[in-house]
């Protein structure tokens, strides 16, 4: 039996709360030879037991029902909160009412002390461990459901806000051209555009968290990405933090947006730096792992198969256990200062999830924190695609006919003004059904469909498919503040699909239109 504070990696950890240490010794004797890696800590007083349960990671608490009945409810709640089910020891003769009361109060199981034996103890422990696993899965499921709900809210707000920003940025840019000769007015317009730009950064972060951000995924070498960032991070972290990078050989490629992945790694590294103000060590490790069914059984949303695992560990102050379930929530901060609250870890969460991966965080107070990012590995049958850079198009004017479809009036008016001024003939519609009617009454050629992705009724994708039935040569440019997960999975954002993220400037719209029209 270890004294209080003993540790053993991978061992079954029991906390015995009993007035007499002989109880702990007796349990140790019963487990000897049956569970060789059991670590048993003993505490006599229930007064400090709740703090001990919270501060340490135990698998099961064995509690004497008579140790302090006034605090037994608090002990059971503390154990449940730490996913550490309580096994109650009862004195006296079997009493069905007492047994029911103990279970109703939250105990995972009970043992009458006079009947305790090795087989009975092992059976009760196995049941308690099953309860522990169920507690953890229920907590993971609750967290996943909460994150999904918050993500849907954040994505919807960001989508609507992006429509407003598109009009602000667009009309602001047009106004800036008109007042270019008036220095004071030009400066004021520039302040408006700067504020809109900062707001658009916020909406992009919200979209990343909600997994509705527009990504351009490609098959990339994770080791090359990490090693490239490491060279930049050494200067950013400062001389008081040592950075080490370990990459396994011949890692498979992963399918992700390189720029967003780099931003996620930078965010985790900067958070680690802030957690080590007195210095420490930051370690980034890459290896290939195979996730099996057993792992998926204890980790909600994990999928079996080959994965590339990126572990980012620091030796900082760690994250309190009660804070861990909320670290990925947007605008959550433990500092109490609004200026420090933001979307950093929320963005990391969204980027990893939208890339088909998973992220888990492990932390101990005073020992540091580890974030583990899992990305599905490249299929052996895949080739080695690389991302292609987009070339800007210098000629921005044109005379082609464009069918412009967006259910937000101010966005449509802004885009219409920009395109008409540049010489294009613009047909308008506020939705897919109206667009099909407009196209049906148009006898001449329609060169380009510019359509919002998400609209009431038919989506922009459905509209494009219907329009191509009668106009097979029409080109399509999709615009949106976000695309939902189904759209991303269905390949809208493959290299063959043209997409423009809201909010966009007049110049960005004209360049993208010309690029799509002139594409081979």
- pLDDT tens-digit readout, 358-395: 888 888 777 788 898 999 987 633 433 333 333 333 45
Rounded distance, CA 463 to CA 472, Å?
A: 13
Span between the terminal Cα atoms of the chain, in Å:
75
CA 261 to chain CA centroid, nearest Å: 12
pTM: 0.44
Q: What is the pLDDT of residue 405?
A: 95
**Together in a domain, 96 and 155:** no
On whether residue 73 sits in a domain, the answer given is: yes
Domain range for 146 is 139-209
Residues 205 and 232 in one domain: no
Number of helical H runs and strand E runs in the chain:
15, 17
Model pLDDT for residues 230-283, shown as the tens digit of each residue: 877 877 788 888 999 999 888 999 988 787 788 888 889 888 888 898 889 999
CATH number at 285 reads 3.30.565.10
What is the CATH classification number for the domain harbouring 481? Answer: 3.40.50.2300
Q: Is residue 129 part of a domain?
A: no
Predicted local confidence at residue 380, as pLDDT: 36
The predicted structure's pLDDT at residue 486? 35
The phi and psi torsions of 274 (rounded to 5 degrees) equal -65, -25
Query: Do 344 and 232 fall into the same domain?
Result: yes
> H-helix or E-strand containing 395?
none
- Are 302 and 196 within one domain? no
Q: 223 and 198 in one domain?
A: no
237 and 205: one domain? no
- The answer on 419 and 368 residing in a single domain is no
Same domain, 193 and 225: no
- Among candidate residues 186, 209, 232, the one where a domain is terminated: 209
Strand partners, 305: 291
Q: Of 374, 377, 383, 356, which is closest to residue 251 (Cα–Cα)? A: 377
Does residue 7 fall inside a structural domain? no
237 and 284 fall within a common domain: yes
Shared domain for 22 and 107, answered yes or no, is yes
Only one residue has tokens 């998400």, namely 454
Residue 61, CA atoms < 13 Å, CB-side half-sphere: 34
Q: Is 20 helix (H, G, I), strand (E, B) or coil?
A: coil
Q: Is residue 306 part of a domain?
A: yes
Same domain, 231 and 352: yes
d(CA 227, CA 215): 22
**pLDDT for the residue numbered 402:** 96
If one counts every other C-beta atom within 10 angstroms of the C-beta of residue 420, the result is 13
Helix (H) or strand (E) holding 274: helix 258-274
pLDDT of residue 124: 80
Low-confidence residues in the chain, pLDDT < 50: 1-9, 210-212, 335-342, 380-394, 483-495
Kindly state the tokens that stand for 415. 């885009």
User: Which tokens belong to 271?
Assistant: 């958070």
In a domain, 395, yes or no: no
In a domain, 381, yes or no: no
In a domain, 311, yes or no: yes
Q: Could you tell me if residue 279 is inside a domain?
A: yes
Total domains present in the chain: 4
Q: Which of 147, 174, 209 is the last residue of a domain?
A: 209
The whole-number pLDDT of residue 431 equals 92
Q: How many CB atoms lie within 10 A of CB 422?
A: 17
Domain boundary among 209, 238, 261: 209
- DSSP, res 501: E
Quick one: pLDDT at residue 446?
95
Q: What is the pLDDT of residue 513?
A: 93
One domain for residues 334 and 422: no
Burial class (CB in 10 A: 0-12, 13-18, 19+), 346: buried
């Amino acid at each position: 039996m270890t004294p209080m504070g003993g540790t053993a990696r991978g061992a079954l950890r029991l906390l015995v709360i009993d007035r007499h240490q002989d109880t702990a010794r007796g349990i140790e004797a019963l487990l000897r030879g049956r569970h060789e890696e059991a670590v048993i800590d003993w505490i006599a007083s229930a007064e400090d037991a709740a703090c001990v349960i919270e501060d340490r990671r135990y698998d099961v608490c064995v509690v004497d029902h008579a140790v302090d009945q006034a605090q037994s409810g608090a002990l059971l709640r503390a154990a449940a909160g730490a996913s550490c089910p309580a096994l109650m020891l009862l004195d006296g003769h079997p009493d069905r009412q007492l047994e029911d009361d103990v279970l109703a109060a939250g105990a995972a199981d009970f043992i009458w002390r006079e009947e305790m034996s090795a087989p009975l103890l092992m059976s009760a422990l196995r049941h308690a461990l099953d309860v522990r696993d169920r507690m953890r899965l229920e907590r993971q499921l609750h967290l996943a459901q909460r994150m999904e709900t918050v993500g849907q809210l954040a994505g919807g707000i960001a989508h609507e806000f992006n429509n407003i920003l598109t009009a602000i940025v667009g009309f602001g840019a047009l106004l800036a051209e008109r007042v270019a000769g008036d220095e004071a007015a030009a400066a004021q317009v520039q302040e408006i555009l700067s504020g809109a730009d900062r707001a658009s950064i916020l909406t992009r972060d919200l979209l990343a968290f909600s997994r509705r951000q527009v990504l351009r995924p490609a098959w990339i070498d994770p080791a090359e990405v990490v090693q490239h960032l490491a060279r930049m991070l050494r200067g950013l972290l400062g001389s008081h933090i040592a950075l080490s990078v370990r990459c396994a050989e011949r890692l498979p490629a992963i399918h992700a947006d390189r720029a967003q992945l780099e931003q996620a790694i930078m965010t985790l590294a900067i958070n680690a730096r802030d957690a080590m103000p007195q210095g420490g060590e930051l370690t980034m490790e890459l290896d290939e792992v195979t996730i099996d069914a057993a792992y998926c059984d204890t980790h909600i949303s994990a999928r079996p198969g080959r994965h590339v695992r990126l572990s980012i560990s620091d030796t900082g102050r760690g994250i309190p256990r009660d804070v861990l379930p909320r670290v990925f929530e947007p605008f959550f901060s433990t500092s109490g200062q609004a200026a420090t609250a933001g979307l950093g870890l929320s963005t990391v969460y969204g980027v990893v999830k939208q890339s088909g991966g998973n992220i888990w965080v492990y932390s101990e107070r005073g020992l540091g924190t580890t974030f583990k990012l899992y990305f599905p590995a490249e299929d052996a049958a895949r080739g080695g695609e690389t991302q292609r850079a987009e070339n800007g198009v210098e000629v921005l004017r044109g005379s082609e006919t464009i069918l412009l479809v967006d259910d937000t009036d101010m966005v449509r008016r802004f885009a219409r003004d920009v395109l008409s001024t540049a010489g294009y003939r613009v047909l308008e519609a506020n939705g897919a059904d109206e667009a099909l009617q407009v196209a049906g009454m148009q006898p001449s050629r329609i060169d380009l469909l510019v359509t919002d992705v998400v609209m009431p009724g038919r989506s922009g994708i459905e509209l494009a498919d219907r329009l191509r039935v009668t106009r097979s040569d029409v080109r399509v440019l999709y615009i949106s503040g976000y695309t939902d997960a189904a759209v991303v999975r269905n390949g809208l954002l493959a290299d063959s699909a043209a997409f423009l993220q809201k909010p966009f400037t007049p110049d960005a719209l004209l360049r993208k239109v010309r690029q799509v029209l002139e594409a081979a």
